[in-house]
Structure 1
Amino acid sequence: MNQAEGVPSPAPARTGEIAFDRRAPGLVGIVVKGFLLSLITFSIYRFWYITNLRRFFWSRTVVAGSPAEYLGTGKELFLGFLVALAILVPIYILLFVIGLLSPILATLAAPISFIGLFVLGQYALFRGRRYRASRTRWRGIRLGQDGSGFAYAGLASLWWLGTIVSLGLAFPFMRAALERYRIDHTLVGQSRMRSTATGRSILMPWMMFYIVALLPILASVLALLAASGFDVPTDLLIQDPASEKSKLIFNPDYADTPLVYYAGAVGIAASVSIPLALLLIPYYRARETRTFLNAAHLGAARLNSSLKARQFYFPYLVYMLALIGFILVLGIILALLVPLIATNGENAGIHAFVIVSTVLLYLGAILGTNVLYVRIVSVRLWHAVATTMQIENLPALEAVLASTRAPASGLNEGLADALDVGGALEIGF
């Protein structure tokens, strides 16, 4: 009540909470089953494994009291992958034949192939997101995505060209422009989402990453190129003749030239900047994710994220510690097998046992790292993004009407999978 005027004050708009069950019971079983069946089916089962993972994460994400649903199937992904292969294989064969028929075109085949597959990969990324959106439902309302995959691929390619020309400085503006295109073409029922993301909003975290992790390497490489007249000799690094292993050393013929010092500066810069880059990637990802979420809205309904960088660091720290412990256990088991080999060197049965044990340890190591990554990193990152988000003005979202739009084809993501640019899970919206 407004006491000065005697007029009731408007009630604050309701907010919607987003929850996710981090305990995730049953997830380990999904990962183990997916790994083993993918192994014995020569990776064919992975499409059903990806589908099971998505259903698990979607169903445990509760938005304003109602869980999300994932309606995709492994069969759709598999058939889409086969159709995509039927498109890509002739392209690869054509490029190979052109290279054989014309030596001049053979030198251009590699860059043409790279550029063509890169553009096609951007198209596949956009279409893959369309598939996932069309297979997502909440309270009976299906999500969707319109827009042109070709337009997105062209936009992404031009932005990547600008990013390369600007030596990475245009990267945050590229990310914001592509985010706006994706969100502005995202549909919730009959309503359209919008994004106000800008490059300036993530410029500072990117510049922090850029100055610490990328700039020293770029500066040292440019100095090396300038010292060599932008013609670095191909034999600057050669294999060490004193070593039987593939160990590279600086060519002694350039010992008294400035190239050795500049090349050494590149090595030093890389050895310092690459570890720093690995440390700063979670920081940048967290800041970008929070900024982009806060820029998304559906009419009067808006997302509000309070995601912190430490919530992206902690899962990776726990994962590294768990991985170290897991490797130590495998090392102890392997150390117990070594004396067995030494004392029974000519025993055929022992040899067979050791070979089988080694193969099982190798497969167990891969399975263990997969289980640890999904259970620790994927679950905690998903939980961090979901539970730090709120929906402001929830009634505006609840007023959205369902759409009769037909769902997208499974080919949309099949192409992304064939080009190896699709992912089982996407953290964020």
Structure 2
Amino acid sequence: MNQFEGVPSQAPARTGVIAFDRRAAGLTGIVIKGFLLSLVTFSIYRFWYISNLRRFFWGRTIVAGSPAEYLGTGKELFLGFVVALAILVPVYLVLFLLGFAIPALAPFAAPISFVFLFVLGQYALFRGRRYRASRTRWRGIRLAQDGSGFAYAGRASLWWLATILTLGLAFPFMRAALERFRIDHTLIGQSRMRSTATGRSILLPWLMFYIVGLLPIIASLLALLAASGFDLPSDLLIQDPATEKSKLIFNPAYADTPLSLYGGLVLGAASVSIPLAVILIPYYRARETRAFLNAASLGAARLASSLRARQFYWPYFLYMLALIGFVSALGIVFALLVPILAADNPSAGTQAAVLAASALLYLGALIGFTVIYVRTVTVRLWHAVATTTQIENLPALEAVLASSRPPASGLNEGLADALDVGGALEIGF
């Protein structure tokens, strides 16, 4: 059956808008409650906290006049995490014991474990998205995702291998290929989405990031490897004998060798390129998000994004200003609190007062940093992506029919959380 039958092809296309309330009333309470309960429950409450955050952001995202809904629960995520751990713990144990049972495999135990867990992590990422899609509903229509998680993991692993072999140049093509796979397996009701994302659409912003942030470090590292005959000495970095802390320094024995010169080049390149790379990350993310949104469609309905890089920079700029103000306020409170505590506890002395004030302010700082980040960065990035995206030919979207497909299990995201590759919120589709 044609989902879009009956939509006039010659009629003027009606555009749908996406809105989000940036004021986000009630969000601060959710964050503080989630932080404190996660702290006292040794992070177990985080599953309910994540669900509350998603429900908040989904419900305040208005698509063509109707809010989205998030139907997932913290209990589902927690049970999925427990089941995932029951699967992963034996795997970890087998990999650990292999090094003892077969001495010849001992040198390869760590690389084998890394490769296995990396591939499993890619599988978990895809399956975690399936869970989130199946718990998302709009106008009573549930989203879904099909496709094989193993196929996605295989593609992702091969693309990462190609990215490593090309020293990062294949990265935008990898991102586009995986985006096409995800979107092409995304369903809204009975209708399937499509993506025409290409690596060329994000190649220029990636090259800007690559040339400024990665190329100098890669080139200096290759020069260092060449100077050592691609066999770096194990004692190139040693612990500083002048300090009790585990601080690494360059071995003075190599001070008059080419290794010293090229090692200095690596440090110099990193000290310049890493800050520049950090500055360019919002630019690349904004360009990639806009390109991928513009490539997504559902039949005749298409997404159109006008997102600008400055809309990704502004939240981080405000975040830095808010942090400076918050830390300054904490310093003033600390300076006022210590004399008061010392006066109330003369027998304990000033040192105990300082420790008590430090503990209280440390907890307050953690809560404050979390609240400030969510309200100034997460909310504004979400608002920027939502409000700069429109739906072209809205009647084609409104013609979508609901599906009877059952929702996915919480184990899908539990595995991602157990491998620490899952996230509370993802900006973008």
Superposition TM-score, scaled by structure 2 size: 0.95
Superposition deviation, residue 157 in structure 1: 0.3
Where 2:303 maps in the other structure, the secondary structure is strand
Task: Report the Cα distance in structure 2 between the residues aligned to 1:80 and 1:90, rounded to whole angstroms.
Answer: 16
Aligned to 1:176: 176
Counterpart amino acid of residue 284 in structure 1: Y
Task: Report the Cα distance in structure 1 between the residues aligned to 2:282 and 2:166, rounded to whole angstroms.
Answer: 24
Confirm whether residue 138 of structure 1 aligns to residue 116 of structure 2: no
Where 1:124 maps in the other structure, the secondary structure is helix
CA contact 1:344–1:350 (8 Å) conserved in 2: no
Counterpart amino acid of residue 169 in structure 2: L
User: Any idea what the Cα deviations from partners look like across 1:373-407, whole Å, max 9, x if unmatched?
Assistant: 11110000000000000000000000000000000
Choose 416-425 or 330-339, whichever is displaced more: 330-339
Pairing 1:116-131 to 2, within 5 Å after superposition:
116-131=116-131
Task: Report the Cα distance in structure 2 between the residues aligned to 1:167 and 1:279, rounded to whole angstroms.
Answer: 21
Superposition deviation, residue 351 in structure 1: 5.0
Aligned to 1:207: 207
User: Any idea what the Cα deviations from partners look like across 1:272-315, whole Å, max 9, x if unmatched?
Assistant: 00000000000000000000000000000000000000000000
Aligned to 1:243: 243
Aligned to 1:100: 100
Counterpart amino acid of residue 263 in structure 2: A
Counterpart amino acid of residue 233 in structure 1: P
Superposition deviation, residue 343 in structure 1: 9.3
Task: Report the Cα distance in structure 1 between the residues aligned to 2:67 and 2:345, rounded to whole angstroms.
Answer: 59
Superposition deviation, residue 245 in structure 1: 3.5
Seen in structure 2, the aligned counterparts of structure 1 residues 361 and 103 have a Cα distance that, compared at 3 Å, is farther
CA contact 1:345–1:351 (8 Å) conserved in 2: no
Pairing 1:30-429 to 2, within 5 Å after superposition:
30-336=30-336, 347-348=347-348, 352-429=352-429
Superposition deviation, residue 332 in structure 1: 2.9
Task: Report the Cα distance in structure 1 between the residues aligned to 2:271 and 2:199, rounded to whole angstroms.
Answer: 29
Where 2:364 maps in the other structure, the secondary structure is helix
Counterpart amino acid of residue 182 in structure 1: R
User: Any idea what the Cα deviations from partners look like across 1:295-341, whole Å, max 9, x if unmatched?
Assistant: 00000000000000000000001001111111222233334466689
User: What percent identity do the matched residue pairs reach?
Assistant: 80
Where 1:422 maps in the other structure, the secondary structure is coil
Counterpart amino acid of residue 202 in structure 1: I
Task: Report the Cα distance in structure 2 between the residues aligned to 1:58 and 1:97, rounded to whole angstroms.
Answer: 45
Superposition TM-score, scaled by structure 1 size: 0.95
Counterpart amino acid of residue 131 in structure 2: Y
Superposition deviation, residue 238 in structure 1: 2.1
Task: Report the Cα distance in structure 2 between the residues aligned to 1:307 and 1:352, rounded to whole angstroms.
Answer: 52
User: Any idea what the Cα deviations from partners look like across 1:121-149, whole Å, max 9, x if unmatched?
Assistant: 00000000000000000001000000000
Task: Report the Cα distance in structure 2 between the residues aligned to 1:139 and 1:424, rounded to whole angstroms.
Answer: 24
User: Any idea what the Cα deviations from partners look like across 1:106-129, whole Å, max 9, x if unmatched?
Assistant: 221111111111000000000000
Task: Report the Cα distance in structure 1 between the residues aligned to 2:345 and 2:49, rounded to whole angstroms.
Answer: 42
User: Any idea what the Cα deviations from partners look like across 1:158-204, whole Å, max 9, x if unmatched?
Assistant: 00000000000000000000000000000000000000001111101
Seen in structure 2, the aligned counterparts of structure 1 residues 256 and 341 have a Cα distance that, compared at 3 Å, is farther
Counterpart amino acid of residue 393 in structure 1: N
Counterpart amino acid of residue 318 in structure 1: L
Counterpart amino acid of residue 256 in structure 2: D
Where 1:216 maps in the other structure, the secondary structure is helix
Seen in structure 2, the aligned counterparts of structure 1 residues 331 and 254 have a Cα distance that, compared at 3 Å, is same
Superposition deviation, residue 346 in structure 1: 8.2
CA contact 2:341–2:353 (8 Å) conserved in 1: no
Choose 363-372 or 82-91, whichever is displaced more: 363-372
Task: Report the Cα distance in structure 1 between the residues aligned to 2:344 and 2:67, rounded to whole angstroms.
Answer: 59
Task: Report the Cα distance in structure 2 between the residues aligned to 1:179 and 1:66, rounded to whole angstroms.
Answer: 26
Choose 186-195 or 40-49, whichever is displaced more: 40-49
Counterpart amino acid of residue 276 in structure 2: L
Q: CA RMSD in A?
A: 1.9
Where 2:427 maps in the other structure, the secondary structure is coil
Counterpart amino acid of residue 217 in structure 1: I
Task: Report the Cα distance in structure 2 between the residues aligned to 1:60 and 1:377, rounded to whole angstroms.
Answer: 16
Counterpart amino acid of residue 217 in structure 2: I
User: Any idea what the Cα deviations from partners look like across 1:351-385, whole Å, max 9, x if unmatched?
Assistant: 55443332222221111111011111000000000
Where 2:114 maps in the other structure, the secondary structure is helix
CA contact 1:306–1:388 (8 Å) conserved in 2: yes
Consecutive unaligned residues in structure 2, runs of 5 or more: 1-8
Task: Report the Cα distance in structure 1 between the residues aligned to 2:249 and 2:10, rounded to whole angstroms.
Answer: 74
Superposition deviation, residue 247 in structure 1: 3.3
Where 1:130 maps in the other structure, the secondary structure is helix
Task: Report the Cα distance in structure 2 between the residues aligned to 1:354 and 1:47, rounded to whole angstroms.
Answer: 35
Task: Report the Cα distance in structure 2 between the residues aligned to 1:49 and 1:428, rounded to whole angstroms.
Answer: 20
Where 1:297 maps in the other structure, the secondary structure is strand
Seen in structure 2, the aligned counterparts of structure 1 residues 225 and 15 have a Cα distance that, compared at 3 Å, is same
Task: Report the Cα distance in structure 1 between the residues aligned to 2:158 and 2:227, rounded to whole angstroms.
Answer: 31
Counterpart amino acid of residue 180 in structure 1: R
Where 1:403 maps in the other structure, the secondary structure is coil
CA contact 2:342–2:353 (8 Å) conserved in 1: no
Counterpart amino acid of residue 400 in structure 1: V
Seen in structure 2, the aligned counterparts of structure 1 residues 223 and 78 have a Cα distance that, compared at 3 Å, is same
Superposition deviation, residue 71 in structure 1: 0.5
Where 1:12 maps in the other structure, the secondary structure is coil
Choose 75-84 or 230-239, whichever is displaced more: 230-239
Choose 236-245 or 391-400, whichever is displaced more: 236-245
